[in-house]
Structure 1
Amino acid sequence: MAIGSAAFAVVLAIAAAAAESPAPAAPIGLADCNTSCGGVSVPYPFGFGPPRCYWPGFNLTCDRSSGQLLLGDGTLRVAEISLRNATVRVVRSGSIIDSASITSDRNVSFGGSFMNHGYMLSNGNELVLSGCNLVATLVEDLGVGPGRSGIISGCASFCSFRNKKVDSVGQTGAGSKYCSGMACCQAPINYHSSPTQVRLRWLDAGNHSEALTFLPTYVFVAEEGWFDQRPLPDELLSVKQSPPRAALEVPLVLLWGVRQGLPSLPNLPANATTACSADADRVLCKSDHSVCAAGNLGYTCQCQQGYDGNPYLAHGCQG
Structure 2
Amino acid sequence: MSCGNLSVPYPFGIGPAKCYVPGFKLTCDTSHRPPRLMLGRLQVVDISLRKNTIRVINIDRVSRFDDFIRSFNGISFGIGPGEAVPYSLSTHNELILMGCNVQAVLSNTGKNREILSGCSSFCPTNKNVTYDTAAASSMDDKEYCYGMGCCQAHISTSRDGMPSELWVDWIDPNMYSVRLLPLSYVFIAAEGWFNKSWVSAQLPESSWTNGLGPRLKVPTILDWEILQLQPTSSQQLANVSIPQRKTQYIKCPGICRSKNSLCKPMIRGYSCQCSEGYDGNAYLIDGCKGLHACTSLIQAVNLLCRLLLILYMLNLINL
After TM superposition, list the pairs within 5 Å mapping 1:122-141 onto structure 2. Answer: 122-141=90-109
2:117 to 144, 153, 161: 153
Distance 1:113 1:54, change over 3 A: closer
Aligned partners of 2:119 and 2:23: how far apart in 1? 35
Aligned partners of 1:242 and 1:249: how far apart in 2? 11
Aligned partners of 1:101 and 1:249: how far apart in 2? 25
Distance 1:51 1:118, change over 3 A: same
Conserved? CA contact 1:133–1:204, under 8 Å:
yes
2:192 to 213, 225, 236: 225
Conserved? CA contact 2:90–2:157, under 8 Å:
yes
Verify: 1:98 aligned to 2:64, yes or no. yes
- Backbone CA RMSD of aligned residues: 2.9
Verify: 1:263 aligned to 2:238, yes or no. yes
1:151 is paired with a residue whose SS is: strand
CA drift of 1:314 comes to 2.5
CA drift of 1:276 comes to 5.5
2:88 to 120, 137, 149: 120
CA drift of 1:65 comes to 2.3
1:211 is paired with a residue whose SS is: coil
- Mind listing any 5+ residue stretches in structure 1 that lack a counterpart? 1-34
Letter in 2 for 1:256: W
Conserved? CA contact 1:227–1:233, under 8 Å:
no
Conserved? CA contact 1:276–1:299, under 8 Å:
no
| Structure-2 residue corresponding to 1:54 | 20
After TM superposition, list the pairs within 5 Å mapping 1:240-319 onto structure 2. Answer: 241=205, 245-258=213-226, 259=228, 261=230, 262-264=237-239, 274-275=247-248, 277-278=250-251, 280=252, 282-318=253-289, 319=291
CA drift of 1:60 comes to 1.2
| Structure-2 residue corresponding to 1:107 | 73
Letter in 2 for 1:203: I
Letter in 1 for 2:181: A
Verify: 1:169 aligned to 2:146, yes or no. no
Letter in 2 for 1:312: Y
1:136 is paired with a residue whose SS is: strand
Conserved? CA contact 1:170–1:182, under 8 Å:
no
CA drift of 1:143 comes to 2.2
Verify: 1:201 aligned to 2:175, yes or no. no
Distance 1:61 1:302, change over 3 A: same
Letter in 2 for 1:228: N
CA drift of 1:69 comes to 1.3
CA drift of 1:308 comes to 2.1
| Structure-1 residue corresponding to 2:53 | 87
| Structure-2 residue corresponding to 1:12 | none
TM-score by length of 2: 0.73
CA drift of 1:273 comes to 6.7
Aligned partners of 2:140 and 2:240: how far apart in 1? 44
Deviation >4 Å, runs of 4+: 170-173, 241-245, 264-268
Aligned partners of 1:170 and 1:81: how far apart in 2? 39
Aligned partners of 1:78 and 1:135: how far apart in 2? 30
CA displacement 1:247-293 (0-9 Å, x = unmatched):
1112211111122524346559xxx9744653x2x322222332211
TM-score by length of 1: 0.73
Number of aligned residue pairs: give it. Answer: 266
| Structure-2 residue corresponding to 1:38 | 4
Verify: 1:178 aligned to 2:127, yes or no. no
